[in-house]
């Protein structure tokens, strides 16, 4: 659609501190890309999803050009291409990614409008997500990492760095927005929230997202937050407000929320015909188009008519050349689509991860060198964390109550005292905030170890967990966010639906996460150390019943002890049946196997899991029983049973059996709990059934 704006009257020349010729070029380039997609590439079905940035473009570019510190980072959303252009992305990447072509942001894996840019020359764009609001907490993690680099690692290059997040007016209703706002303001972080208020979230007016429709007005009394608000279509005003907001954050006066009103000059996406807007309203939006305003501001005050036209022509020629380069790229080899779920040897991500940031982990051994008395799992985990905190200044721990209290399970007791509140600290009560912040910190080259207080409370963080796991794959290994997410769970004396579930299978179902389920202190040390020195995100499941369990106590296996993931342990040898289990069920299976020639296999990790060890054992014993605490339907046992049926069917003398919790939440009363969780007696009875089959 052509601009309905009449040529506005010439205005005062804008602040020469901005590179207006560059602003003009980038706005025109963004327009040329939008027009090319709308008029050619979408109708030709070469671009499947198109989100026009018309109207949002000028203010984004003014802001993007202010990201001058190489340690600045920005995270946007699907309408953020103009900001990416201002950071200097290759235009063929910008267009080719929208076309799903090889190379670019994701090698055709992710929806093209969802950008990422590990910028070797300046500020980077953190991997964006499709979920509205998902960008906030990782960005606040970057902001906190800036402070960590300054204060703990004493890196002066971060002194005036900032984190910038972009969101629409709809996104201010998301959990992520409030989680990040709380973190940024309570911690006084160098974080700039930029809200591009176009009045709509698809078709829903902004008054549905915040009362009265103006988030800046509603946050006026929020402590520790600078509010800057105005018109994002007036070049002079927008530039002044951008400078005011950026200046506030760079001066380390705390976070700032910049809200600029902008028109959304096209539908939400190409498919959206905007029938929910009246024609008069659409026309009023076009009258606010920042492009003609920019032109009348710059011509003739700063640029001649001819110069403007030259800029326009260069922008459309560059867009055309980029299209040609993008189309020449072809499509990625389909065989490569399974790569980069996890770190691959010799192919580190371009950005993210502590070891990637210039350190190499010291050598480890899988040979335990037991020392001293047996210790419980709590002490074993704490000692491992203590050692790795000492060894690697990029390791940091955080979660609810893990600071002065030492955690509700006492795992982090004394660590804040020893390492200080910058490295071991309490967080606000937001699991999305905890995990999302860890993502941003990992991207900034740290090794975060966030704690979720109880398994069930990981659920508010599900979106961040999923986005973290898929990051390496969806950015084609341009970014990864390795971390160790400690999650205590399972029953402990009693059960209940909130603190006691395991549901470990849900984590296995998140691509990109490794999952450790140690049953004892020695394995906990080995798996935790491997996770802390690894290059992938790891769920470290700490079973509550095993934390202080007598059976789980082992001698500390040494400061270099690390276990490979995907290597099960035969904890009891036998010839007549294989029992596959993990976590708190291991000692029960061992006890149940007494008097029988039964092999007990502790898987130790579920992603990856040691299928080869299981198959080898089952082929020998010809019987397979899987025991787990999680519920039966679609529990991880179903995966094992399917693999055994698939690959060892002809070797079996009995059906593959599972003993699990029934499909119920964990019951509270110990008598009820005993009926639900597999007991030694029931496991033994099942073993005997199978042996008699």
Q: Which stretch binds ligand TPP (CB under 6 A): 102-110, 161-169, 246-254, 523-531?
A: 161-169
User: Nearest 10 degrees: CA dihedral of 314, 318, 319, 322?
Assistant: 180
Phi, psi of 216 (to 5 degrees): -65, -45
Mark 122-151 with x for binding to ligand TPP (rule: CB under 6 A) and - for no binding. Answer: --------xxxx------------------
How many CB atoms within 10 Å of residue 364? Answer: 17
Of 659, 657, 671, whose CA–CA distance to 628 is shortest? Answer: 659
Q: Which residues contact 159 (CB under 8 A, 6 or more apart)?
A: 150
> Using N-to-C axis directions, what is the helix angle for 20-36 and 290-298, rounded to 10°?
150
Q: What is the residue whose two structure tokens read 């459309």?
A: 316
Tell whether residue 168 is a contact of ligand TPP (CB under 6 A).
Answer: yes
Smallest distance, Å, CB 569 to ligand TPP?
A: 41
Which residue in the list 18, 387, 499, 543 is annotated as catalytic? Answer: 499
60 is a contact residue toward ligand TPP (CB under 6 A): no
How far is the C-alpha of 178 from the C-alpha of 291, rounded, in Å? 33
Question: Does residue 683 interact with ligand TPP by CB under 6 A?
Answer: no
| 170 lies in the binding site for ligand TPP (CB under 6 A) | yes
Burial of 691 (0-12, 13-18, 19+ CB in 10 A): middle
β-strands 598-602, 569-572 pairing = antiparallel
Q: Which stretch binds ligand TPP (CB under 6 A): 194-202, 369-377, 477-485, 616-624?
A: 194-202
169 binds ligand TPP (CB under 6 A): yes
Locus of tokens 């069917």:
649
Distant-in-sequence, close-in-space partners of 101: CB < 8 Å, separation ≥ 6:
108, 326, 327, 329, 330, 331, 332
Of the CA atoms within 13 Å of residue 51, those in its CB half-sphere come to 19
Which of 200, 425, 507, 582 is the binder for ligand TPP (CB under 6 A)?
200
171 sits near ligand TPP (criterion: CB under 6 A): yes
Q: Counting contacts by CB under 6 A, is residue 308 touching ligand TPP?
A: no
Q: Is 79 in the site for ligand TPP (CB under 6 A)?
A: yes
User: How far is residue 566's CA from residue 528's CA, in Å, rounded to a whole number?
Assistant: 14
The answer to the question of residue 8 lying near ligand TPP (CB under 6 A) is no
Smallest gap from Cβ 455 to ligand TPP, in A, equals 23
| Shortest distance, position 61 Cβ to ligand TPP, whole Å | 16
| Cβ atoms within 10 Å of 393's Cβ, excluding its own | 17
Element (H, E) at 73: strand 73-75
Q: How many residues bind ligand TPP (CB under 6 A)?
A: 16
Residues of span 267-306 touching ligand TPP by CB under 6 A: 268
Q: Which is nearer to ligand TPP, 13 or 130 (CB)?
A: 130
Which of 202, 301, 408, 680 binds ligand TPP (CB under 6 A)? It is 202
| Shorter beta-carbon distance to ligand TPP: residue 52 or 476 | 52
Asked if residue 205 binds ligand TPP (CB under 6 A), the reply is no
Query: What part of residues 247-266 is at the interface with ligand TPP (CB under 6 A)?
Result: 264
Backbone phi, psi, residue 548, to 5°: -125, 25
Q: Nearest approach, Cβ of 170 to ligand TPP (angstroms)?
A: 3
Residue with smaller CB distance to ligand TPP, 173 or 494: 173
Stretch that binds ligand TPP, among 195-203, 331-339, 502-510, 613-621 (CB under 6 A): 195-203
Q: How far is CA 90 from the centre of its chain?
A: 25
Nearest distance, CB of residue 551 and ligand TPP, angstroms: 44
668 catalytic per annotation:
no
76 interacts with ligand TPP by CB under 6 A: no
Does 198 interact with ligand TPP (rule: CB under 6 A)? yes
371: phi then psi, degrees, rounded to nearest 5? -135, 140
The contact set with ligand TPP (CB under 6 A) reads: 79, 130-133, 167-171, 198, 200-202, 264, 268
Catalytic site positions: 499
């Amino acid at each position: 659609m052509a601009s309905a704006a009449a040529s506005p009257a010439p205005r005062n020349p804008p602040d020469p501190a901005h590179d207006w010729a560059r602003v003009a070029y980038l706005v025109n380039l963004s327009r040329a890309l939008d027009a090319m997609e709308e008029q050619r590439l979408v109708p030709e079905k070469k671009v499947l999803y198109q989100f026009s940035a018309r109207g949002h473009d000028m203010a984004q570019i003014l802001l993007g050009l202010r990201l001058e510190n190489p340690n600045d980072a920005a995270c946007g959303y699907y309408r953020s291409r103009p900001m990416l252009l201002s950071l200097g992305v290759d235009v063929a990447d910008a267009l080719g990614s929208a076309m799903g072509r090889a190379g670019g942001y994701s090698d055709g894996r992710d929806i093209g409008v969802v950008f990422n840019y590990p910028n070797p020359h300046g500020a980077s764009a953190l991997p964006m997500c499709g979920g509205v609001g998902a960008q906030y907490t990782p960005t606040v993690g970057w902001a906190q990492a800036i402070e960590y680099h300054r204060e703990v690692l004493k890196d002066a290059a971060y002194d005036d760095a900032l984190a910038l997040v972009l969101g629409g007016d709809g996104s201010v209703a998301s959990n992520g927005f409030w989680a990040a706002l709380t973190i940024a303001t309570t911690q006084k972080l160098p974080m700039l929230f930029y809200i591009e208020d176009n009045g709509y979230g698809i078709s829903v007016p902004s008054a549905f997202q915040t009362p009265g429709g103006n988030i800046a007005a509603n946050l006026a009394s929020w402590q520790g937050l600078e509010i800057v608000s105005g018109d994002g279509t007036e070049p002079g005003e927008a530039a002044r407000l951008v400078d005011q907001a950026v200046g506030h954050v760079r001066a380390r006066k705390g976070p700032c929320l910049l809200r600029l009103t902008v028109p959304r000059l096209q539908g939400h996406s190409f498919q959206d015909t905007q029938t929910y807007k009246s024609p008069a309203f659409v026309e009023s939006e076009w009258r606010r188009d920042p492009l003609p305003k920019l032109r009348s501001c710059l011509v003739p005050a700063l640029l001649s008519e001819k110069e403007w036209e030259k800029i326009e022509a260069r922008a459309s020629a560059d867009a055309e050349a980029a299209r040609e380069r993008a189309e020449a790229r072809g499509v990625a080899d389909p065989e490569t689509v399974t790569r980069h779920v996890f770190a691959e040897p010799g192919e580190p991500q371009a950005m993210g991860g502590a070891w990637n940031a210039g350190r190499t982990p010291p050598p480890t051994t899988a040979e335990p060198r037991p020392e001293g008395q047996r210790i419980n799992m709590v002490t074993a985990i704490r000692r491992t964390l203590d050692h790795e905190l000492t060894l690697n200044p990029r390791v940091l721990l955080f979660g609810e109550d893990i600071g002065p209290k030492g955690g509700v399970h006492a795992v982090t007791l004394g660590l804040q005292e020893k390492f200080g509140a910058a490295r071991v600290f309490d967080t606000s009560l937001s699991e999305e905030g905890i995990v999302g912040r860890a993502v941003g910190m990992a991207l900034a080259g740290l090794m975060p170890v966030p704690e979720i207080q109880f398994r069930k409370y990981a659920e508010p963080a599900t979106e961040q967990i999923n986005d973290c796991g898929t990051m390496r794959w969806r950015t084609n290994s341009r970014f990864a966010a390795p971390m160790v997410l400690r999650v205590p769970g399972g029953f402990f004396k009693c059960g209940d639906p909130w603190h006691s579930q395991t549901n470990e299978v849900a984590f296995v179902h998140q691509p990109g996460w490794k999952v450790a389920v140690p049953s004892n202190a020695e394995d906990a040390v080995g798996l935790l150390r491997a996770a802390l020195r690894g290059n992938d995100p790891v769920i470290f499941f700490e079973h509550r019943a095993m934390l202080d369990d007598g059976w789980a106590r082992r001698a500390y296996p040494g400061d270099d002890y690390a276990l490979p993931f995907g290597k099960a342990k035969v904890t009891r040898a036998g010839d007549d049946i294989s029992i596959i289990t993990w976590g708190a069920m291991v000692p029960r299976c061992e006890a149940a196997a007494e008097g029988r020639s039964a092999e007990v296999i502790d898987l130790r990790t579920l992603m990856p899991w040691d299928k080869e060890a299981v198959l080898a054992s089952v082929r020998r014993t010809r019987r397979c029983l899987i025991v787990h605490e999680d519920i039966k339907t679609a529990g991880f046992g179903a995966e094992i049973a399917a693999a055994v049926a698939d690959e060892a069917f002809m070797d079996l003398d009995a059906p593959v059996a599972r003993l699990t919790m029934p499909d119920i939440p964990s019951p509270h009363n110990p008598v009820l709990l005993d009926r639900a969780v597999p007991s030694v007696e029931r496991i033994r009875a099942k073993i005997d059934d199978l042996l008699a089959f």
